[in-house]
Amino acid sequence: MASIGRNPAQAKQPVPARRHRRWLAIAFAVVAVAALVWGMRRAPEAVPVVQEEPPSRPGAAARSGQPDPGRLVGSWLRADGGYVIAVEAATADGRLDAAYYNPSPINVARAEWRDAGGGLDVFIELRDVNYPGATYTLRYLPDRDLLVGQYVQPLVGETFEVGFARLQE
């Protein structure tokens, strides 16, 4: 018996399990970062500022108080949309090999990290259509494996509190 009002060609196709799991992981990351950003707006004093971090995984800095910029390598998803920062490498001189997607690639004019009192700060400047000098100023929270901070969009003259969660790959 044919169903009324439905075109069999438009029937929903099953989603492969691998693709389904990836979208679930992304959705979970978005919800986690959204909760963090919402919590920051409600109680900014609740976000800890980490002054020093002991090495906790391979590649961590050998000396106490020295942050490991290698911890920044990976893909980071912003809580409020499909914005992704992909860090391929962090060099000793403070440069980051980074890309930005919304979801299409946006030109990264400058990307760098710095040691901020034993912690890692990240600065990314975008220069592209609709991104004339937009910037991210972020702090790495090692205990939560998050990047949090501000996004400045000069095109509209606004600053936004943002958070990025690491995407599991």
Which strand (E) or helix (H) includes residue 26? helix 17-42
Which strand (E) or helix (H) includes residue 96? strand 96-101
Q: Residue 29 is part of a domain; what is its CATH number?
A: 2.40.128
Those residues whose C-beta lies under 8 Å from the C-beta of residue 135, and which sit 6 or more positions away, are: 123, 124, 125, 126, 151, 152
Give the SS3 label for residue 49.
coil
Question: What's the average model confidence in pLDDT over 136-146?
Answer: 96
Give the SS3 label for residue 32.
helix
Does 111 fall in a domain? Answer: yes
Nearest to 84 by CA among 68, 108, 116: 108
What distance in Å separates the CA atoms of residue 132 and residue 129, rounded to the nearest whole number? 7
Q: What is the pTM of this model?
A: 0.64
pLDDT tens digits along 85-134:
999 999 999 999 999 999 999 999 999 999 988 889 999 999 999 999 99
For residue 74, the Cα-to-chain-centroid distance in whole angstroms is 9
- Kindly tell me if the per-residue pLDDT of 9 is higher than 60: no
Does 108 fall in a domain? Answer: yes
Max Cα separation, the chain?
Answer: 72
- Kindly tell me if the per-residue pLDDT of 64 is higher than 90: no
Domain boundaries, position 107 = 16-51+66-166
**Number of structural domains found in the chain:** 1
Check: CB of residue 86 under 8 Å from CB of residue 102: no
Task: Look at the block and give the residue holding tokens 């949309």.
Answer: 81
Instruction: Say which residue, 2 or 82, is predicted with more confidence.
Output: 82
Question: What's the average model confidence in pLDDT over 18-34?
Answer: 50
Does 2 fall in a domain? Answer: no
- Kindly tell me if the per-residue pLDDT of 135 is higher than 90: yes
Does 60 fall in a domain? Answer: no
